[in-house]
Structure 1
């Protein structure tokens, strides 16, 4: 299976400061892929490079079969229409209603008539679990969880093949976080999309993530399934995962996930 995203030998410098020094990773179609790492490891920078908000100092990035460094304007516009982004704090435009925020990418990249636009907005709101009345609200009138869902609705407006999530469960209470995790899985399965998420949430990592890459020492020090990453002896991986509390809390979840995968394969 050809990767939907591939990063090879990525070097990123800001002046004399080196953020990445030979990062390699790949994301397979249809999986939920997590990027992990400590503060300042360059997780958000990697995603910004994939979505063409930043350009690496060297290395190659291939997305949906297109090598970004060699792409032309038409290919770049095609790619921008093929992904959606949920930023960490939502990044909703405060002067626009929820409906106007969701409509923004559609107005930018398509010529959808207003009558159809209203139907699309209603569909996206329902998809993320928001009531129709939320369309007329402004971001200041939303709770933290509603902001996340409204921002996700905007990210899904163009029916993307790729969905990027930056700390999707940060700021949510445990019940809200679990509900949002389940929403991500449901959307992946229903829409056949690939999800790339930056997260520190161990619940998310242990329950919904298929594969992950761990950033430390300016590069990827472990990549693969949870079991493969847990086999790493890198000090950062040891600190992030391997303590008695984590092992006891999540060992049952690992086994449950393995059992579910086995049952699915048997079917």
Structure 2
């Protein structure tokens, strides 16, 4: 940690990016999975790009223009969250845009090391909302492009977890990259359809009954709370990921069979 430099980051632009074409003005439902209180938070993803000849063009300008194009297909991201009377969240497609931040860093990219250790000054690489920001004023996604003196840059994507899981964010970033490379549309267009995951009323009543009967009992799926936490880095090669997927599918197959037996 001693070898890592303190970062000197200067914000050079901050603007709203709107879809480059008119988008629908409607209100979209979130599924019950998306409405879990644990998902009502923001996560950050850091994408690090070393300097190369392809980086001669201003990356901030390229990404900002690509963002405006990809938002045509991901137009709900340009909207805002709204809370219904029952406390559930929904997305109002207002077209207000997403926040884009461009910054210059007076350091070489080597200053951040391999990100195994984070210094407080590294927080300058990402945008954070003030603690008292109202839910309905939050941007659903924020992108900050940090350009280093060596020509490398770091893109930090801050996203609301109610709108994205890891796979969904990956699909969005892939589409953003395709638009930045000059494609006219993403290779995989997003589909909303989250209202299909609404449970039936009967199921809701049954879950309420289960909750009443198990009140006060420690749920088996509750996450253990640890008083101490450590930061580690894991490197997963392709063979490890393949083995993990195979094991997962074996378990999924067992649960699928079990559910079919219950339905019979």
TM-score, normalised by the number of residues in structure 2: 0.26
Larger radius of gyration: 2
The answer to which structure has the higher helix fraction is 1
